[in-house]
Amino acid sequence: MQPQYQMTNQATQEMALQQNRVLRNTFMLLALTMVPTVIGALVGVQLKFSFLAGSPFLSFLLFLGIAFGFMWGIERTKDSGMGVVLLLGFTFFMGLMLSRILQVALGFNNGGSLIAMAAGGTGVIFFTLAGVATVTKKDFSFLGKFLFVGMIVVLLAAVANIFFQIPALSVTISALAVMIFSAYILYDISRIVTGGEDNYISATLAVYLDIYNVFVSLLNLLMIFSGDRD
């Protein structure tokens, strides 16, 4: 019985070390992804980058195609250094795409403040929920199905609003997106802590997308309610 207990205890310790390693590497890579994102956003703002602005629906479809292509490539190469390269390339692309909403925000008199508030709010949400997941070590996997359905609903509503351009629907979509992707932060960090995700590249991609969507949605809400054009 004693050797079996020792083996079980050793396996538990090794699992805990592996989970901590994945979590640490995820946070380090997540911080690194912010560099190409910021560079991409700055380049896009300076060049007034616009992704097929004359055709929003076609632009949206092309964006999804490129984004899913990157994500497919990242998942295929997640066990090698190429996975990191593709992830950083993807975050640069996402920074370019982010530049469009930043250009709109900077068109407000208080645009810089709105961007800073959205970034600060996103940071507070991330560190709070990541802290809850890591400290409590509670399994939030039960949220997965509900969050996936919510994400699909938001995506379909966003596509519909490309055609209808209803301000109230835009507000609703952004508010729901903040809640859903904030909960996804809790869910995705929890998966790392409880051993549900053992690859730090995949984990970083998931958490990065959560943070990105929270920031964009918060910024959209701030522009709607606090934007100052005089």
Cβ(184)–Cβ(210) under 8 Å? yes
Among 146, 148, 143, 150, smallest CA distance to 173 is for: 150
CB atoms within 10 A of CB 146: 12
Q: What is the pLDDT of residue 230?
A: 65
Please write the tens of the pLDDT for every residue from 26-85.
999 999 999 999 999 999 999 988 766 667 778 888 899 999 999 999 999 999 999 999
Read off the tokens for 189.
């960090």
Instruction: Using the predicted structure, report yes or no on whether residue 5 has a pLDDT greater than 60.
Output: no
- Write the CB contacts of 19 (distance below 8 Å, at least 6 apart in sequence): 192, 193, 194, 195, 198
- pTM higher than the cut 0.85: yes
Provide the token pair at 157: 């509503």
User: Which of 10-24, 75-89, 101-115 bottoms out in mean pLDDT, i.e. has the lowest?
Assistant: 10-24
User: To the nearest 10°, the Cα dihedral for 122, 125, 130, 133?
Assistant: -150
C-alpha distance from residue 161 to each of 6, 54, 214, 215, 218 (Å): 59, 16, 19, 20, 18
DSSP 107: T
Q: What is the pLDDT of residues 108-165, one digit of tens each?
A: 999 999 999 999 999 999 999 999 999 988 889 899 999 999 999 999 999 898 888 8
Encoding tokens for residue 66? 């490129």
Number of domains in the chain: 1
What is the model's pLDDT at position 197? 87
By C-alpha distance, which of 103, 92, 122, 97 is closest to 217? 122
42 is in which domain, residue-wise?
A: 2-226
